[in-house]
Structure 1
Amino acid sequence: MLASQRRSVILELVEESGAVKVSDLVERLGVSDMTIRRDIERLSSDGLLERVHGGALALGDARSSEEPGFSAKSLLQLAQKQAIARAAAQRVEVGSAIGISAGTTTYELARAVKDIPQLTVVTNSVPVAQLLHESGAPGQTVVLTGGVRTPSDALVGPVAVAALRALHVDLLFLGAHGVDDRTGLTTPNLVESETNRALVSSARHVCLLADSSKWGTVGLSTFADLADVDLFVTDDAFPERARAAAREVVGSLEIAEA
């Protein structure tokens, strides 16, 4: 296959799914990792896609009502998300009941706590439930809310809300599409917003996991105020001005070294 043909295939796959991983392209196209990375770099320089760590994303407008899929978001700020997850996981005690909302940063949190025994995990995230079901430590119990599945692999709607109203967790790990000192925590999905409010109501303490790129992003619907957050864990690229604004409102701000 010629380089131009290979790049056409890559671009087509990105446009179809919204995101591709280098490892998947290597297997599919039968070429080296470096060849794929050069192809992605060329397509990125031509303005045809966005190059990110580990793959590529389709170009798109960042509208307040736009909701990227789980696979697309999982490629963004991966090192930061993993650092945030490692830091937040230190707050989890053996035998506790925790909530984990849907999202790619919270998925990394699930990876970081999967070896902690005797946890009860309440989640509306299909990937989180699958991960803990397949590789969780002995004695872990996973409660999946049920509901209607969104593009971000969250289970939402009245079934999820009804389940959460009957449940109570010690600590909720919460993700967000956007975080802002004026609009609080936001999401593009109105129904997911309602479900996130139910998650917050179920928790004694709320821990927000959001990388620095989320600050200043405003989605369609607010589901929590910053004042509802007991602990905000973000990465070391979080701007100083934003740190000052966050510290005025949240219970505690923790900066994870990415």
Structure 2
Amino acid sequence: MMNERREAIVRLVDSQGSATIAQLKDAFPEVSEMTIRNDIKALDADHRLVRIYGGVRSIETAVGADGLIDLRRNKNVAAKNAIARKAAELITAGTSVYLDSGSTVAALAAALPDVQLQAFTCGIYNILELGRYSYIKTIVPGGSLNRYNMCLHGSRAVREVARMHFDQVFIGASGYSASCGFTCGSDEEAELKRTAIERADTRIMLFDSSKIDHASTFTFCDIDDIDIIVTEDGLPAELQARCQAAGVHIL
């Protein structure tokens, strides 16, 4: 019963983005407020939810967390692998690429062709994947570690990336909405994404359809800042129309 209730709490909070203690007590009237608080404490310790003052937020919408990458790597795996395979076909030997942090881009790092290539990345999981290749040269800009996204970011990372040039940048996002554009959950991460996009000739967004009409906290770009969107399936008609108007190619 306890495990079922906690799973139900996670589903409720994920669907809403956040919930107060009072809202959870109304949703589960059969248990006391103390029990609800104990459930939240346990779910926070298990990285299922994030406790905030007076309530709880979903991992995906928690500012600065944006979904613990160890959890996100196990979500929508088939979609991420399909996107990674498509994106890998865009790679050309002898070029330089920047791989953003995030679970979808990490799937791309695992699917790259082993060819002569300069790969720049601040993503720790990308580095681990890139270390398996024989011909890919990996360059890692410095920075401070975001333990939620396992990414090096901050002013040092931005400065270093701003001095570089990439033939292609592969970017991930936490969400997209027409009003907010492409978003993520950390201001520092958003600044690093913007800088990498500015330093690339071709800007490629890796984006699974579950993130459509979901907005995180910080906007880092919009449709007209992107050249190609790689997704696992077709996009909604409204988003396709926006892409067509902006000259964005959809794969």
Q: Which TM class, normalised by the smaller chain length?
A: 0.7 to 0.9
Tell me the equivalent position of 1:96: 95
Unaligned 5+ runs, structure 1: 12-42, 51-55
Q: CA deviation at 1:251?
A: 1.8
Q: 204-213 or 193-202: which moved more?
A: 193-202
> Which of residues 211, 232, 235 is equivalent to 1:235?
232
CA distance in 2, matches of 1:238, 1:79: 17
Structure 1 residues 156-211: Cα deviation after superposition (integer angstroms, max 9, x where no partner):
11110111011111000000111223322111101111111111111111000010
Q: Residue 248 of structure 1 aligns to a residue in which SS?
A: helix
> Which of residues 153, 156, 159 is equivalent to 2:156?
159
Tell me the equivalent position of 1:77: 76
> Which of residues 138, 143, 166 is equivalent to 1:142?
138
Which letter maps to 1:70? I
> Which of residues 129, 132, 138 is equivalent to 1:131?
129
Q: CA deviation at 1:243?
A: 2.6
CA distance in 2, matches of 1:147, 1:46: 36
CA distance in 2, matches of 1:168, 1:181: 29
The answer as to whether partners of 2:61 and 2:67 remain within 8 angstroms in 1 is no
Which letter maps to 2:98? G
Which letter maps to 1:87? K
4+ long deviations beyond 4 Å: none
The answer as to whether partners of 2:176 and 2:211 remain within 8 angstroms in 1 is yes
The answer as to whether partners of 2:83 and 2:232 remain within 8 angstroms in 1 is yes
Which letter maps to 2:141? T
CA distance in 1, matches of 2:62, 2:246: 24
Q: CA deviation at 1:246?
A: 3.2
> Would the alpha carbon gap of residues 105 and 44 (structure 1) be closer, same or farther in structure 2, given more than 3 Å must change?
farther
Matched, 1:222 2:219: yes
TM value normalised by structure 2: 0.75
Q: CA deviation at 1:46?
A: 5.7
CA distance in 2, matches of 1:183, 1:148: 27
The answer as to whether partners of 2:88 and 2:108 remain within 8 angstroms in 1 is yes
Matched, 1:47 2:43: no
Structure 1 residues 48-104: Cα deviation after superposition (integer angstroms, max 9, x where no partner):
555xxxxx9825535363521111111111101110110111110112111100010
CA distance in 1, matches of 2:116, 2:5: 46
Structure 1 residues 105-135: Cα deviation after superposition (integer angstroms, max 9, x where no partner):
000111110x4211100111011012111x1
> Which of residues 169, 188, 194 is equivalent to 1:172?
169
The answer as to whether partners of 1:181 and 1:246 remain within 8 angstroms in 2 is no
Question: Number of matched residues?
Answer: 207
Matched, 1:120 2:118: yes
Q: Residue 87 of structure 1 aligns to a residue in which SS?
A: helix
Q: Residue 231 of structure 2 aligns to a residue in which SS?
A: strand
TM value normalised by structure 1: 0.73
Tell me the equivalent position of 1:17: none
Tell me the equivalent position of 2:48: 58
Which letter maps to 2:111? A
> Would the alpha carbon gap of residues 147 and 86 (structure 1) be closer, same or farther in structure 2, given more than 3 Å must change?
same
CA distance in 2, matches of 1:179, 1:88: 19
> Would the alpha carbon gap of residues 243 and 117 (structure 1) be closer, same or farther in structure 2, given more than 3 Å must change?
same
